[in-house]
A and B are shown apart, each in its own frame.
Chain A
Amino acid sequence: MSVFRSLSLRLALTAAGVFAASFACLLAAYYWVNVTRPTQALERRIEAETGELTDGLIVDGAEATTRRLAELATIKTRPLFFAAYRSPEGHWRLFNLPVAPRITDKKWLKTDADVYQEGLEIDRYALLRVTRLKNGAVLVIGRDMEEIEEIGELITQAAIWVIPLTLALSLAGGMLMSLAIGRRLDKISRAALSVMEGDLSNRVPLSGSNDDFDRLAATLNLMLDRVEQGYFQVRQVSDNVAHELKRPIARVSAELAFIDKLEDPAAQRAFLRVEQEIIRLSRLINSLLRISRIEAGRHPIAKTPVSLARLIEDVCDYYRPEAERQGLQLTVKSSIEKQTAGDPDLLFQLIANLIDNAIKFSGASAGTEVQITLTQSQRGHLISVADDGIGSANEDISRLGERFFRGDQVHEIKGDGLGLSLCSAIVKAHGGYLQFRRLNPGLEVRAFLPAGDL
């Protein structure tokens, strides 16, 4: 999904990540201040008390010490004092502890010390220090750390719930943001694309909020203004070129026309050849200019209803005498009569050039048939012209639409090499494309024209 590749989403995720991390740090700090340090302080206090009471046990004996423990246990000030004494014989005496603690060889022990008083449950959590004496007695001293424990729980719960929630919300927010940004960017790229496709007057719409995107759009629009300007300047130059190139040729033709006949037969022949070349040059320039204009989008393409089947029929009507003269069969297979939208003159020229080529290259070799097929799909129409003549070399196939390109094998056959370039320009101007396929023998040219709106 393109949303995930979007920069804005990545930025949103990064921000979310940083936010979540900071929150985690905050929780950790809070934990340290309110749980870890107080626990450490309590441990130190218990350690000190243990030391004192242990010394007392050794010096004053068990009886005195247990009396002392009972006293300490009754003091109401927080944190509550816990203690337990196990005699060398294994007899436990408990002070504020509901049950005897489970002794392991660990020094510290944490255990629940909840009690029920007057029908209420009082939560207590004992932090206990265990001391073994040489005579086998065990002295357990501790304090209540219920409050610290509660805070610790809270923080842990917060971490477990809030951090994933933060990330989820950030992800959702990021996706929404990225979609919104994506839409704005989309508008911009669509406007740019439409300009590239020839609609020079198109500009990026501004939302009016004067935000970063609007500023970007405004800058792009300025750039497009320049592009449009430059384009029209080029167009002006091209129109002048047409006039400038044709004027000298028209003049040369005019001057040549004054020469009736030259005495010297060799000169006369040369003169006729010059005349032919001038005609050829003039046609070449016309073709080139036409192709350029169509390619540059400066040739207006009419969008009128056109029957391709009818066009093909008319082209074949024109070429039939020539096909017959060359002993070629023209067959047309048309599966539809549905109209499309396009420029009738240009489309006629397209089909004419294709069939002209097919006849020319088929007749010059051992070809027998030119097949024209018209098919329709959901996406548009496909015109196929196939001959079984001279064809094209494999390595030349991709170059057939180039201006002036002629394969080696057609060297002997007359032609200026612009026929297919014009075809290519015409299909492209209609939003379609040309395809070439080697047949053995011969060549198939396919023109695809997308379905137009009528």
Chain B
Amino acid sequence: MLKILLIEDDVSISNFVQSGLRSIGHSVVAADDGRQGLIEATTEEFDVIILDRMLPSMDGLKILQALRASGDETPVIILSALGEVDERVRGLRAGSDDYLTKPFSLIELTARLEALARRPQKTEPHLTSFAIGPINMDLLGQVVRCHGKRVDLTAREFRILTYFARNEGKVVTRNMLLEAVWDYNFDPQTNIVDQHVSKLRQKLDAAGSPSIIQTVRGAGYVLRLDN
């Protein structure tokens, strides 16, 4: 259950997001104006802030900068109609943690919110290995073992598995995978992410760890230990 602040002036979208998030069990505070939103953010503690880029009174980025300048480190995800790479970069530089373009699906938003909210603190040492059930990942040596036996993965498959491991238990959408695993910001005409995940799963299954990466219908995938 996350405590979420939504700063969005468009009534339809605001209602949509609020009811969607509440139906999953999160609590949402909504502000329809930048100034109001900033006041809310500074007076209360939130797990995640959803910030619309184009607001009537101020540019969303300015609000974000003000927030960060005051020392607030609450994760922020920006919603925007502007989808260009340079806009994403601007948003990230201004201190946001993720960026989602309209129109977006609720599932996408939810997955990213949850991924953001439980991000390990910046002070934690960088992990160099993961152990998930029978799977052991050595990030430095780029080696994966399952039940002690080495699994032969391509560099890309290794990155996909790493991303899953970092987000264990959380839903990972195809877009999230595309952004995290492929260095370039591009819009593929054909979504081939599924095929890459499929190959990874085949290899893991063959090595003896069936179903560790599960499909979440209509959303994406999740790496989960329990069946």
Interface residues of chain A, those whose CB is within 8 Å of chain B, are 239, 242-243, 246-247, 249-255, 257-258, 278, 282, 286-287, 290, 293, 299-300, 311, 314, 317-319, 321-322, 325, 344-345, 348-349, 352-353, 356-357, 359-360, 415, 419
Known: A242-B81, A322-B192, A325-B195. Is A349-B106 also a contact (CB below 8 A)?
no
Among B9-17, B29-37, B167-175, the one that faces the other chain is B9-17
Please, what's the 1-or-0 string for B1-43, where 1 marks a CB less than 8 Å from any CB in chain A? 0000000001011011101100000000000000000000000
Chain A residues in 8 Å Cβ range of B86: 299-300
Number of interface residues of B (CB under 8 A): 37
Please, what's the 1-or-0 string for B163-197, where 1 marks a CB less than 8 Å from any CB in chain A? 00000000000000000001111111110100110
Chain A residues in 8 Å Cβ range of B198: 321
Residue of A nearest to B154 (CB): A317
Chain A residues in 8 Å Cβ range of B84: 290, 293, 299
Known: A250-B102, A251-B12, A254-B13. Is A356-B190 also a contact (CB below 8 A)?
yes
Please, what's the 1-or-0 string for B77-111, where 1 marks a CB less than 8 Å from any CB in chain A? 00001111110000000000000011111100000
Q: Does B149 sit within 8 A of A, measured CB to CB?
A: no
Known: A257-B16, A290-B84. Is A314-B196 also a contact (CB below 8 A)?
no
Do A314 and B182 touch across chains, with their CB atoms under 8 A apart? yes
Q: In the A-B complex, list the 7 residue pairs whose CB atoms are closest, starting with the nearest.
A: A254-B16, A321-B195, A348-B184, A250-B103, A246-B81, A250-B102, A253-B103
User: Interface residues of B: mostly helix, strand, loop or mixed?
Assistant: loop
**Known contacts A250-B10, A348-B184; can you find 19 more A-B pairs with CB under 8 A?**
A242-B82, A243-B82, A246-B102, A249-B102, A250-B103, A251-B10, A254-B12, A254-B16, A254-B17, A254-B103, A255-B12, A255-B16, A257-B105, A282-B103, A299-B86, A321-B198, A344-B184, A349-B184, A349-B187
Interface residues of chain B, those whose CB is within 8 Å of chain A, are 10, 12-13, 15-17, 19-20, 54, 81-86, 101-106, 154, 156, 182-190, 192, 195-196, 198-199
Bound together, the chains give a CA A345 to CA B179 distance in angstroms of: 12
Chain A residues in 8 Å Cβ range of B182: 314, 318
Q: What's the least CB distance linking A274 to chain B, in Å?
A: 13
Chain B residues in 8 Å Cβ range of A360: 189-190
Q: What's the least CB distance linking B183 to chain A, in Å?
A: 7
Do A250 and B13 touch across chains, with their CB atoms under 8 A apart? yes
Partner of A352, one of B101, B186, B196: B186
Partner of B190, one of A251, A282, A311, A322: A322
Do A356 and B187 touch across chains, with their CB atoms under 8 A apart? no
Q: What's the least CB distance linking A277 to chain B, in Å?
A: 13
Do A286 and B83 touch across chains, with their CB atoms under 8 A apart? yes
Q: Can you spell out 20 A-B residue pairs with CB atoms less than 8 angstroms apart?
A: A242-B82, A243-B54, A243-B82, A247-B10, A249-B102, A249-B103, A250-B10, A251-B12, A257-B20, A282-B103, A286-B83, A286-B187, A318-B192, A321-B195, A321-B198, A345-B186, A352-B186, A356-B190, A360-B189, A419-B189
Residue of A nearest to B14 (CB): A254
Do B13 and A345 touch across chains, with their CB atoms under 8 A apart? no
Chain A residues in 8 Å Cβ range of B20: 257
Do A314 and B195 touch across chains, with their CB atoms under 8 A apart? no
Bound together, the chains give a CA A409 to CA B190 distance in angstroms of: 20
